[in-house]
Amino acid sequence: MNTKEISLTAVIAALYAAIVIILAPISFGPIQLRVADALIPLAALLGFPAVYGVALGALVANIYWFMSPIDVVFGALANLVAGYVMYKYKDNLIPASIASSIIIGLVVGGYLWLFFPPPSILGIQMPAWLGMIISITLSSIIAITVIGVALLKILEGSGYLKQVKA
Residues 6+ apart with CB under 8 A from 8: 46, 49, 50, 53, 164
Look at the chain and report how many structural domains it folds into.
Answer: 1
pTM for this prediction: 0.92
Cα 166 to the center of its chain, rounded Å? 26
Query: What type of residue sits at position 38?
Result: A
CA gap 155, 149 in Å, rounded: 10
| Backbone torsions φ then ψ of 124, nearest 5 degrees | -95, 125
CA gap 16, 35 in Å, rounded: 9
Q: What is the pLDDT of residues 97-152, one digit of tens each?
A: 999 999 999 999 999 988 887 766 677 777 888 989 999 999 999 999 999 999 99
Please tell me the predicted confidence (pLDDT) of residue 161. 66
CA gap 58, 78 in Å, rounded: 9
Domain span including residue 140: 3-165
